[in-house]
Amino acid sequence: MIKILSHHSISLRKKPSCELSVPCQTALAPMQDVTGLPFMSVIARRGAPDFFFTEFFRVHKNSRLSPEILSSITRNPSTSPVFAQIIGENLMDVQRTIKDLKKYPIAGVDLNLGCPAPRVYKKNVGGGLLRDPDKIDKLLRLMRECLEGNLTVKMRIGFEDDRNFSEILSLIVKNKVNLLSLHVRTVKGGYKTPPQYEYVKKAVEYIGDRCPVLANGSIETAEDAVFLRKKLGTFGVMIGRAAIKNPWIFRQIRELEDGIPVFRPVREDFYDYCIELYKALERPQMEERKMVSRIKKFLNFIGPSIPDDIGFINGMRRSTTKGELFGVFEKYLTGNGLGELPVSFRPQFNS
């Protein structure tokens, strides 16, 4: 089995998820066009999660491993292990892809059973597979045979409802999956429907002693993470969008659990974050206008964290050059003594 060197040196195979004496394990959720090497580097400097997952490697007849996604494995800027996520359904193509991935220092291979994009699920991959437990069984069996190390699954609770949820959990146990990340929505539920954490509780009850479970979906703050993890009895949490808004969140979770003062960023920290992110994303051959649009994907998430977000959001959306954009960062994040003002995040849950 591939050795996992997390901050807490936990082997996925040994620890049952319900052991609350073990620190809350954290993972950055895979996000296409976001969680590549540049963002990983920026996060790692602010407190890496225990686990990273790559954006998905597409698996089809003519697929080859994307060099850009591979760089987040080969140039991992942290000591946290990286799982390679794949999306596909053809058994021979999956087998070939796993063989290729095994040449790299991966923590394991993660099967995407959640992508809600219609062009994806219509091909019966990602979230589309949740309609077909038999196919999931075949895929997991093959992946288990191909992998000596960790086999992990990231799934939603179902396609349009939970009709296959229990059956898929039993397949996870049957095929000795080493870690389940559960996004608590259906595929049809997209990203905004209310998160249904009761399914995490069910998963922990059914399989938690055999497969660790990470809760995922709309965890907004470190306080939410610690509260939910205790309430649901999970191995830990997987966080996506809130880590773009607040790249210190993994560090804050550890500090909160350890009972030490929690780092609270001020606007100047956001200024540094935005500048560093721009530089990390910058490519010499990329046109400035394209570069500015590329970082806007991130800034759309960061904007609502900034008090007076409307000014920040409108300003950054209007910017077409690096100079204009950096001017917006200065105006809203450092100018006129703003830099010292705290930026707070509101927990969703009462702890």
Ligand X SMILES: Cc1cc2nc3c(=O)[nH]c(=O)nc-3n(C[C@H](O)[C@H](O)[C@H](O)COP(=O)(O)O)c2cc1C
Q: Is residue 56 a contact point for ligand X (CB under 6 A)?
A: yes
Which residue number has the CB closest to ligand X? 240
Binding window for ligand X (CB under 6 A); candidates: 8-16, 28-36, 285-293, 323-331: 28-36
Nearer to ligand X, 34 or 130 (CB): 34
Interface with ligand X (CB under 6 A), residue from 136, 239, 249, 274: 239
Write the binding mask 190 to 219 for ligand X: x where contact by CB under 6 A, - elsewhere: -x------------------------xxxx
- Beta strands at 82-87 and 57-58: parallel, antiparallel or unpaired: parallel
Please identify which residue in 38, 47, 212, 240 interacts with ligand X, judged by CB under 6 A. 240
The CA distances from residue 171 to 86, 100, 143, 164, in Å, are: 18, 25, 13, 11
Can you name the residues that pair with 213 across neighbouring β-strands? 180
What is the per-residue DSSP string for 258-286?
HTSPPP--BHHHHHHHHHHHHHHH--TTS
Q: Which of 42, 43, 242, 249 contacts ligand X by CB under 6 A?
A: 242
Looking at the Cβ atoms of 115 and 253, the one nearer to ligand X is 115
- The sign of the dihedral angle between the CA atoms of 82, 162, 213, 145 is negative
76-135 residues in contact with ligand X (CB under 6 A) are 85, 112, 114-115
Candidates 11, 32, 90, 124: give the one binding ligand X (CB under 6 A).
32
Residue of 156, 151, 122 whose CA lies nearest to 139:
151
Give the shortest CB-55-to-ligand X separation in angstroms: 5
Q: Where are the alpha helices (DSSP H) in the chain?
A: 37-47, 67-74, 91-101, 118-121, 133-146, 165-174, 198-207, 222-232, 241-245, 249-258, 267-281, 288-302, 309-318, 322-329
Asked if 252 and 218 count as a contact pair (C-beta separation under 8 A), the reply is: no
How many residues sit close enough to ligand X to count as binding (CB under 6 A)? 22
User: At its nearest, how many Å lie between ligand X and the CB of residue 125?
Assistant: 11
Q: Which is nearer to ligand X, 55 or 272 (CB)?
A: 55
Q: What's the distance, Cα to Cα, between the start and end of the chain in Å?
A: 37
Report whether 4 contacts 10 (CB < 8 A): yes
Contact with ligand X (CB under 6 A) among 7, 58, 183, 229: 183
Among 55, 89, 269, 272, binds ligand X (CB under 6 A): 55
Which residue ranges make up the site for ligand X (CB under 6 A)? Answer: 29-32, 34, 55-56, 85, 112, 114-115, 154, 183, 191, 216-219, 239-242
